[in-house]
Structure 1
Amino acid sequence: MEILAPAGNFEAFFAALEKGADAIYVGIKTFNARAYARNFTLEELALMIPYAHQLGRKVFVALNSLIKETEWKDLIEIIIALGQIKPDAIIIQDLGVFWLCKHRFPHLVLHASTLMACHNVIGVKKLANMGFKRIVLARELTLKEIENIKKSVSVELEVFVHGALCFSYSGLCLASSYLGGQSSLRGRCRQPCRFLYQWGEEKGYYLSCNDLCALELIPILKEMRIDAIKIEGRMKSAEYVATVVEAYRLVRDASPDESQAAIDYAKSLLSKVESRPLTTGFFLTVKPKNVLDPKHPGAFGVYLGRVLRKEGERIFFRPEAELKAGDRIRAQNEIFGKGIAWKVKNLEKIGELICLNAPTMVEPGYLLFRVVSAIPGLKKSDKKLKTKLNQMVKPIDFKISSSSKKRLQQWIYAQGIEIPKKRFKRIIWWIRHEEVNYFLNYKLPEGSIPILSLNFQTYPLILAHFKKLLKKHPSLTISLPPIILPHQLAFFEKAIKQLLDLGFKRWQLANIGHFELFPEKKGLIFSSDYTFNVANHLALRTLKNMGIHFLMLSLELDKNTIKTLVKYWNKHEIVINVYMRMPVWISRLSLKPFWRSDSLISPLGEKYYPLKRDEITYILPEIPISLKDYLKELKSFGIYQFCVDLRFLLKKEVEKIVTSKGVFLPKGYQFNYQRGLA
């Protein structure tokens, strides 16, 4: 069982290798899911990989950002270089990057990022069939669910065992993007789940998760023959990485007789690395009680005190715990949960106060935490360590010629499809709802395509009224939820088979695993939901090749990305969501212990409304997104298929928006359309 460690800088890279990591995962300067880490240049990778290989270790490159249509030029240089540098694997989430690698760089080994939201066996099987060598599973699985998946597949499985947890399923969180265009799918998460929220009369960190620690469960995962255990932390220090790797290596290598002693000693090591309170997450139960603690701030570490005053680049505070030069500390905005970390260099005691160096962004009132204590022997700078690498290994040669870039660029744009000259004469509305009675009792605009959610509540009603539904709406599309929990698969398999037999031919898929639910696709018409996170035409090509007829773009996209993307694709196949009260968080965690009838109110005053359905928590913003003011512009791009999502709206709102005479969109939040997607 491989121990996979993070490295956001050279210090962490060397520390992980020194402490026994079997493989290291790193990011390059762009296009990875930790954009705020130091990360590495291609030239640095060309040194790191041969050095790791000398030690018999591996290096994986995280290229797991969502790629916008406007970014191919920059990605081309990176992928050509990686094709020559040949890391042991690249970790990806974007279906466009998948298509590019599969057809132009087939020698590159692909790992499916956890951002692909692979949370059940059908997702694993589909990704394996696509050619992924390894699947990084969602963190929301129990040991039993992981074991059942492992018994059913031969592809490699990777499991997160230590580090930060997100409230939402990875790949389905839109909260940071909704707040300010900083997409978590592109490594720029603002961590709104760490904010201090008002809920009713009380305030709390209701969405802030404790840190994962599966140290005691390593013998079980080892017995299951899980291929790799993963430590989160490309934003963490070398001291943190070294200590955590050492702890997990001790337990992994221990014999059954030595296991408990190894766990006890490893725990003592981890106690030296400050973190948020630790939890085993979902490993032991589908209803963990120790993941959320609203009373604990989103910060982690040993509390040192509060910044009392600031003088230039020095801060003053009254210490409540020990601190020394070389320690790494974090200043936390108590309300927004945003932290700033740095290493203590100059420390001076002045009376009852301590004065130390601090970044200029730290302000009076911030909370201070010691996150890592200094470890002797790990003090070398990135610059010195890079020099050391240059002396020890010969870098891998790679060349990015203008001709190779031109050829690849030509190939990429040739993957688009011929654009029909004939345009739609009128808008085709896709009307989405989750109530069967709505489609039975209301008349839709002529030519509309209804989308009806399939879930535990709607299924019996669909069966009871299938003849009326199909007669009234021959183009009725049945949509699947983005999360189908492992124990729910049997229900959906049965429901889909029965509805196919009854004559339902149009289906909307929301997760890569859904393709496995339709072994026979002939005669069926498929559309893709926004949860496939499509931001470029190669991703469209991938879905089209899998059998998708109508392709819904990502909700996050800005005007420029949409305008550029549709130049290379048949606009008749593209659908844009123009009105929706979208879930910004989708989680397996329950908020029931803290439940109140009021809205969650952020420090910025935004209101959010949690609801639970089929064991999944959805958190909805008060204000829906609406592109009402941009329909004319979208039509000028050649797009005429627009989706109006009526789920999660009040009945009186629904009746005003969609009538037999047409669709009348209210104004709302424009999301990233005008401001852009970072």
Structure 2
Amino acid sequence: MISNLSKPELLAPAGNLVSALTAFDAGADAVYGGLKKFNARERTENFSSDEMAKLITYAHSNGKKVYVTFNTLIKESEIISAAEMLSELVALKPDAVIIQDIGVLHLIREYFPSLVVHASTQMGIHNSEGVKLAASMGIKRVILERQVTLDEIRQIKAVSPIEIELFIHGALCCSLSGKCLFSSFHGGFSGNRGKCKQPCRYNYFSGPNEGYYFSTRDLCSLELIPEMKKVGITSLKIEGRLRKQDYVKNVVSAYRLMLDAVPERENSTLEEAMDLLGLSYGREFFTGFTSDKSFSDLVRPDSSGVSGSLCGRVANVAEGGFSVLLSRKLHLGDRIRIQSKSGKKGTALTITEMTVSGRNITEGRSGETCFITTRDREVLPDGFVYKIGESIDEMTGRISRLPLAMKRKIDFKVAVSAKGFNIDVKDGSSNLKWNKAIELAKAQKHPLGEEKIKSEFSAASSEILAPGEINAEVDGEYFIPLSVLKDVRREFWKWAEENVSKDKSAELAKSQLDKFFLFYGALKGSTSPREKTTAENINPTALASLPTNNIPETEIHSFVVNPARDVPFSSSDEIILPHFCPEGKLSELRKQIIDAYGKGARRFRLTSIFQLGLLKEFKDLKLSSSYPLPVCNSLAVCELRRLGFSKVQAWPELEEREIEVMIAKSAATVEIFRYGRLPLMMTRAEIPATGELRDSRGNRLNLKKDPATGMTCLYSDFVICIPEIKDASDFFDFTNASPGEKNTSYFNSKSVWE
């Protein structure tokens, strides 16, 4: 087991180089950020390859770490470009890559094994069985699901074979991580692709009432830092890659204070740290899931969830700008957002010009009506004006001086004798020798000493090499003119540049990429017979309204695991396992599986990877995957096939064309979700509404709470109804839909999943 750490790593967000450097200056031990594609915050600036190289070089030169986010789901058509980007990352040498897609995990482990893998919170790992399974798959650190309690964290950490990372500050999703279709269903922009439109921040209507029923408070776990130290959490993570450096500076500084505080100073330090957080602009704070009761405190239905400090309201919109009646000070350089009451995304801008009665000002005061100049920006009449940040230093000069790559350090030993210099250089697993013949005279005074040799040879003039550990020995007292010693040093470093082996990581990565291309080009689809599966007890004749042109060879009936079932299972019966099982319920679920197996159950439908750990002792099983276990590409299929799955369900957000090309390369039977209502979000949070909801456009939604699990699910009024796809098996879900409903949707199958 990983031993407890007295002081966890402080991990900060980096949406760009300025934020990253700010975080390090404020005391962060590590930062995380993404390249321009395949990361869960595509709406921020992100890094080019050169910018990421500069960041990693700077971090490693200063004893810091950089983790690269590669944490979105990858479509089949993107596999090649994803592999090429991973090949580039091998050469950049980040400290780890954060992933969500198990296909990406398969790709890294098999072809780019030098990359260390961390499991994103988007993987939804929330119990010890999930952590253990992740470790067996080659993952070195798990970023836990946010909606786990402090007691559950303690239990998981106590048995974890790998590092555990937690989010401790920042914006929270109402949904369980990686299990939200809300944004995607209402416009195609998916949180699983880094493009969430945040419909959870909108206003909704429940009967005669209205509110922001899914808008969460911001996480702030400052007061829990002493407990996190005791538990032995490896890394504490701050959310905020969309935030600017003023926010990063204040939040990182606050948590640095608490992490460094000695026990007798923790209370007074907490006050000082909270004052620092007060300088950032966020929502009302939520301490965290300290217990089950905390789930009732997460959502604030009376608050839109707009981050920032309310400073006024738009009084008038005119050509070139708008007037705002201020309730709080604003300054030139401040960043503001103009937000509507509906909670939908507003207009953000930086104040570059501000006037009162035609007079230019640098500060607007409470009670004044100021005119703020805008350029081609839409401003909502009667909008609310929030301050979201202050003027910032862009660090242009500092960034321009950052080196693109770090020099390679070499260790060597300099031996001096009367006949000259002999230098032994350690080059990986081999040793190189360099000699310089010079007749050295006996010194009358000031003999050449070991410290002088070390000092002189440490002055490397190389562009690619730097001195590491230098040892020196002199077998007598010799004199050498300083100019000659410098010539010897320059000659040595020139030789070293030509003879010390170059960093071959890029060449190796290219070779591995070529091997992957050969493998991927040879992948062929499965020829297994098609199957039709229906969920819940229902007469198969009810499917008459859902035409299937090609009659499947096998019909399967799925049931949610139920300990009360008395009758034996037939060969066509399948058990659906719950996607979420808190740590304290694992033993109960294990008993239910044992009971079902004893009654003849051999087919199991897995909805999360943790369930594999509960099934490992049983033989002769037929395993299928199902939502919300994501399978978006043939490499994810390869990984699940390796783990024993014979059938996988394509991720429901995928468009039809992507499913077709995935099927053509999938080593297992691919099933599609043909009919039913999938939960748009699932949460442990207490939602302050029940039953039917409506949004501002009249779309109807439905909230359902499972009293057995305490989980609340949000469903659309629309039923997903997907046309048949050639060579795919079918899944019909009647747990939340009736056959033949008229209000149907293709979801993304006929459009593009963004």
Post-superposition CA distance 1:431-450 (Å, at most 9, x none): 012x5xx4799999994210
Q: Which residue of 2 aligns with 1:367?
A: 384
Match of 1:250 among 237, 245, 257: 257
Instruction: Please state how far the C-alpha of 1:491 moved relative to its aligned partner.
Output: 1.1
- Kept in 2, the 8 Å contact 1:509–1:527? The answer is yes
1:482-497 paired onto structure 2 within 5 Å: 482-497=579-594
Matched residue SS, 1:233: coil
Which whole-Å CA distance do the structure 1 matches of 2:541 and 2:676 have between them? 22
Amino acid at match of 1:387: S
Which whole-Å CA distance do the structure 2 matches of 1:405 and 1:332 have between them? 49
Amino acid at match of 1:252: L
Which whole-Å CA distance do the structure 1 matches of 2:228 and 2:510 have between them? 48
How many equivalent pairs are there? 634
Match of 1:561 among 629, 650, 658: 658
Q: Which residue of 2 aligns with 1:673?
A: 749
Q: Which residue of 2 aligns with 1:595?
A: 689
Evaluate the alpha carbon distance shift between residue 391 and residue 489 of structure 1 in structure 2; reply closer, same or farther with a 3 A threshold: closer
Which whole-Å CA distance do the structure 2 matches of 1:49 and 1:20 have between them? 16
Match of 1:380 among 388, 394, 399: 394
Instruction: Please state how far the C-alpha of 1:607 moved relative to its aligned partner.
Output: 0.8
Instruction: Please state how far the C-alpha of 1:621 moved relative to its aligned partner.
Output: 0.6
Which whole-Å CA distance do the structure 2 matches of 1:559 and 1:391 have between them? 42
Structure 2 portions without partners, runs of 5+:
1-7, 359-367, 408-462, 465-502, 545-550
Structure 1 outlier segments of 4+, above 6 Å: 391-398, 400-403, 439-446
Q: Which residue of 2 aligns with 1:354?
A: 370
Evaluate the alpha carbon distance shift between residue 56 and residue 415 of structure 1 in structure 2; reply closer, same or farther with a 3 A threshold: farther
Evaluate the alpha carbon distance shift between residue 212 and residue 478 of structure 1 in structure 2; reply closer, same or farther with a 3 A threshold: same
1:204-223 paired onto structure 2 within 5 Å: 204-223=211-230
Q: Which residue of 1 aligns with 2:604?
A: 507
Q: Which residue of 2 aligns with 1:281?
A: 288
Asked whether 1:549 is paired with 2:646, we answer yes
Amino acid at match of 1:619: L
Matched residue SS, 1:12: helix
**Coordinate RMSD, CA, aligned:** 2.5
Instruction: Please state how far the C-alpha of 1:326 moved relative to its aligned partner.
Output: 2.3
Evaluate the alpha carbon distance shift between residue 64 and residue 222 of structure 1 in structure 2; reply closer, same or farther with a 3 A threshold: same
Matched residue SS, 2:264: helix
Match of 2:523 among 412, 416, 422: 416
Matched residue SS, 1:579: strand
Evaluate the alpha carbon distance shift between residue 371 and residue 415 of structure 1 in structure 2; reply closer, same or farther with a 3 A threshold: farther
Which whole-Å CA distance do the structure 1 matches of 2:144 and 2:374 have between them? 38
Match of 1:451 among 553, 558, 573: 558
Asked whether 1:225 is paired with 2:329, we answer no
Post-superposition CA distance 1:49-87 (Å, at most 9, x none): 010111111000000011000112321321111011110
Which whole-Å CA distance do the structure 2 matches of 1:390 and 1:362 have between them? 42
Q: Which residue of 1 aligns with 2:575?
A: 478
Amino acid at match of 2:721: S
Amino acid at match of 1:504: A
Which whole-Å CA distance do the structure 2 matches of 1:391 and 1:620 have between them? 49
After TM superposition, the structure 1 stretch with the greater mean CA deviation from structure 2, 204-213 or 327-336, is 327-336
Q: Which residue of 2 aligns with 1:623?
A: 718
Post-superposition CA distance 1:364-396 (Å, at most 9, x none): 33321112344xxx4125x54431324996699
Structure 1 portions without partners, runs of 5+:
658-664
Q: Larger Rg: 1 or 2? A: 2
Match of 1:91 among 75, 95, 98: 98
Matched residue SS, 1:318: strand
Instruction: Please state how far the C-alpha of 1:331 moved relative to its aligned partner.
Output: 2.1
Match of 2:635 among 505, 524, 538: 538
Instruction: Please state how far the C-alpha of 1:201 moved relative to its aligned partner.
Output: 0.4
Amino acid at match of 2:624: S
- Kept in 2, the 8 Å contact 1:73–1:409? The answer is no
Asked whether 1:429 is paired with 2:520, we answer no
Evaluate the alpha carbon distance shift between residue 619 and residue 314 of structure 1 in structure 2; reply closer, same or farther with a 3 A threshold: same
Evaluate the alpha carbon distance shift between residue 120 and residue 600 of structure 1 in structure 2; reply closer, same or farther with a 3 A threshold: same
Asked whether 1:581 is paired with 2:677, we answer yes
Instruction: Please state how far the C-alpha of 1:273 moved relative to its aligned partner.
Output: 1.1
Higher relative contact order (CA 8 A, sep 6+): 1
Matched residue SS, 1:289: helix
Which whole-Å CA distance do the structure 2 matches of 1:440 and 1:497 have between them? 28
- Kept in 2, the 8 Å contact 1:272–1:373? The answer is no
Matched residue SS, 2:624: strand
Matched residue SS, 2:735: coil
Amino acid at match of 1:362: V
Which whole-Å CA distance do the structure 1 matches of 2:77 and 2:595 have between them? 43
Matched residue SS, 2:402: helix
- Kept in 1, the 8 Å contact 2:17–2:51? The answer is no
Evaluate the alpha carbon distance shift between residue 412 and residue 672 of structure 1 in structure 2; reply closer, same or farther with a 3 A threshold: farther
Evaluate the alpha carbon distance shift between residue 107 and residue 391 of structure 1 in structure 2; reply closer, same or farther with a 3 A threshold: closer
Q: Which has the higher helix share?
A: 1
Which whole-Å CA distance do the structure 2 matches of 1:142 and 1:391 have between them? 42
Match of 1:162 among 161, 169, 176: 169
Q: Which residue of 2 aligns with 1:610?
A: 703
Amino acid at match of 2:520: Y
Evaluate the alpha carbon distance shift between residue 412 and residue 30 of structure 1 in structure 2; reply closer, same or farther with a 3 A threshold: farther
Matched residue SS, 1:618: strand
- Kept in 1, the 8 Å contact 2:97–2:117? The answer is yes
Instruction: Please state how far the C-alpha of 1:332 moved relative to its aligned partner.
Output: 1.8
Post-superposition CA distance 1:265-305 (Å, at most 9, x none): 00011111121100013124444333111111120221112
Matched residue SS, 2:252: helix
Amino acid at match of 1:364: P
Instruction: Please state how far the C-alpha of 1:316 moved relative to its aligned partner.
Output: 1.9
Instruction: Please state how far the C-alpha of 1:346 moved relative to its aligned partner.
Output: 2.2
Asked whether 1:518 is paired with 2:615, we answer yes
1:64-213 paired onto structure 2 within 5 Å: 64-213=71-220
Which whole-Å CA distance do the structure 2 matches of 1:88 and 1:199 have between them? 48
Q: Which residue of 1 aligns with 2:4?
A: none
1:655-670 paired onto structure 2 within 5 Å: 657=740, 668-670=744-746
Which whole-Å CA distance do the structure 1 matches of 2:64 and 2:219 have between them? 25
Normalising to structure 2: TM-score of the pair? 0.80
Instruction: Please state how far the C-alpha of 1:347 moved relative to its aligned partner.
Output: 2.5
After TM superposition, the structure 1 stretch with the greater mean CA deviation from structure 2, 481-490 or 207-216, is 481-490
- Kept in 1, the 8 Å contact 2:90–2:509? The answer is no
Which whole-Å CA distance do the structure 1 matches of 2:202 and 2:542 have between them? 41
Which whole-Å CA distance do the structure 2 matches of 1:260 and 1:647 have between them? 51
Instruction: Please state how far the C-alpha of 1:311 moved relative to its aligned partner.
Output: 4.0
Which whole-Å CA distance do the structure 2 matches of 1:506 and 1:387 have between them? 59
Instruction: Please state how far the C-alpha of 1:667 moved relative to its aligned partner.
Output: 6.4
Instruction: Please state how far the C-alpha of 1:343 moved relative to its aligned partner.
Output: 2.8
Evaluate the alpha carbon distance shift between residue 588 and residue 518 of structure 1 in structure 2; reply closer, same or farther with a 3 A threshold: same
Match of 1:647 among 735, 746, 752: 735
- Kept in 1, the 8 Å contact 2:653–2:753? The answer is yes
Q: Which residue of 1 aligns with 2:480?
A: none
Evaluate the alpha carbon distance shift between residue 443 and residue 53 of structure 1 in structure 2; reply closer, same or farther with a 3 A threshold: closer
Matched residue SS, 1:188: coil
After TM superposition, the structure 1 stretch with the greater mean CA deviation from structure 2, 65-74 or 92-101, is 65-74
After TM superposition, the structure 1 stretch with the greater mean CA deviation from structure 2, 46-55 or 233-242, is 46-55
Matched residue SS, 2:281: coil
Which whole-Å CA distance do the structure 1 matches of 2:689 and 2:381 have between them? 34
Which whole-Å CA distance do the structure 2 matches of 1:380 and 1:541 have between them? 45
